[in-house]
Structure 1
Amino acid sequence: MRKIKILVFVLCFVLFFLSACGSNDKHTTIKLGEVTRSLFYAPQYVAIEKGFFEEEGLNVELQTTWGGDKTMTALLSDGIDVALVGSETSIYVYAQDSKDYAVNFAQLTQTDGTFLVAKEKQDNFSWEDLKDSNFLGQRKGGMPQMVGEYVLKQHGIDPHSDLTLNQNIEFANIPSAFVSGDYEYVQLFEPTASVFEKEGSGYVVASFGEESGQVPYTVFMAKQSYLKENEENIEKFTRAIYKAQQWVQDTDSAEVAKTIKDYFEDVELDILTSSIDRYKNQGSFAADPILDEDEWNNLKKIMKEAGELPDGNISYEELVNTEIAEKVISN
């Protein structure tokens, strides 16, 4: 009987100890939704893999929400806490008079991430070559499409009259549509552009990111209410992202590729490395999370040129919070 009492006591002590350990676990869960799975978001995956979120006491649950509309629906309905998506989506939501609109608080990428890929190899490419061509573009209203049209116009090309433009293909199906169709040019992200070059299916002839300048292309955002109620956790989140941004800036592309390889199992390591190198060389990865006003104004200019900028005052002060990022950097 005495042995049974001792055994019960030991079991109770163990259960109490385990319960106490659990109660001291200060990790806070943040549900993060990314608009797509993209090599363009390398610093985000680095923050997870290098344990930067964990160091801040955060448990980040990453899910891919596949598309700007779905991402914002998930954010506004509390399906996710933070969204990684193009900042144009925050403008669309704000223009609908949303009471609890989304606020951009940390920038991840600062240029367009697409490249102009030609089906045939061209040693002396000129933007004039696009005239009268069959061009496979991106979805209407999204940042890739708006930047693509903006760049074409900067080179004196009207995308709706000087060439045949197709914008009806779903994002995921664009690469296969280009290969199987009679398109002469396509707008593609990495690593697909590099894969095409390796296979001989297409050749990168220009960068839309280099041509369009800096824009808040992909940004972390949250609802106003969430930011107010979770300011400390958002600061921790931003600090982890900043650590990752600095790490990517200071680390060679091969090491970055190895770190995030598990997120792109079907892509060979050499392709990941060359793709990251291409993005680093053109300054696509933001070195810090601050979204400045010049970038915001460039975004509005691009949206206006595409006929997608809503009427009214799209206020930088209303839709962008730089205080958190500035605090993180200063500390």
Structure 2
Amino acid sequence: MLLSTYVAAQTKYSNDFLNLGAGAKGLSLANTQVAVVNDVTSSYWNPAGIANVEKKYEILLMHAAYYADIANYDYMGLSYRIDEKQSIGFTLLRLGVDGIPNTTQLIDNQGNINYDRITYFSVADWAALFTYGRQLPIENLTLGVNFKLIKRKIGSFAGAWGFGLDAGLQYEIKKWKLGLLARDITSTFNAWSYQLTDEMKNVFDATNNEIPTNGLEVTLPRLSFGFGRNFELGKGFTTMATMDIDMPFDGKRNSLLSTKTVSFEPHVGIEFGYKDFVFIRSGLGNLQKEKNIEGKEVFSCQVNIGLGFTIKKILSIDYAFTDLGDMSVAIYSHVFSLKLALDYFKKPTS
């Protein structure tokens, strides 16, 4: 039943694990990072931002529990600044559910229940992102690209390999930061294969479940546009305001504005800082139209909050209280991330 349900969900939620986010800072800001991200997490949010990383080396680690500790989401990001104009990055992330009981062989050939026949397996989604970003000849304009390699596995029963491309731009003008991200620009393809025994197929037939067959899963392109700005408030206080608009092309959604082809999903974030040491963050996202108990159409939203500390621009500890993946109905999670930045890269003075 798990396999048949999984196959049926593929058409609209293909590679949805790649929408869970990266870094507690971005999550607490409701994922509003397309225009303002400039650290190792750029590989995830907008590859163009990696060209603006100040440190020579950065590494970020994040762990989060999903669905009340049923699933685990882990992220690791690395970045390396080649010179004053270009940087590279590598990201590895995994979403997995472990210890799932396989009860397809629970009943033996004599019709008896035998709990010793229960085995356990894991469902895991892996992604590796290889990133390159550079400054373009136009001042304050950067370009970045991602190559994505995807591995998805359902125990020993099914698996898929996939690949895709992302591209992004960032531009700063009069202290305003603008960003554009095209995710899965050529569409992302996953090739699924299934290894089911005859006994498992018989169980599928007996329980009126469709037997899955090998096939190709396609993730359609998605655009995101963002803008933001930093403000100096005086006496060491700063604030940053940012907004993104996501535009998925997978059909009509419960968004504030949507058509049969594309939906428009805005989300906003704000950060208050003091002397580049402590930061308080909040974000508002997942704005949707839905019907209440009385059948009236109402608007709903998701609020995220977070806190961050940076020590001498070397060590950053960030926390977010958020609903991973903007699911709204899911339980909120406590997310922590740790970032280490080394070897400040000084740009040559003109």
* TM-score of Structure 1 vs Structure 2, range by shorter chain: under 0.3
Structure number with the bigger relative contact order (C-alpha 8 A, sep ≥ 6) is 1
TM-score, scaled to structure 1: 0.26
TM-score, scaled to structure 2: 0.25
More helix by share: 1
More strand by share: 2
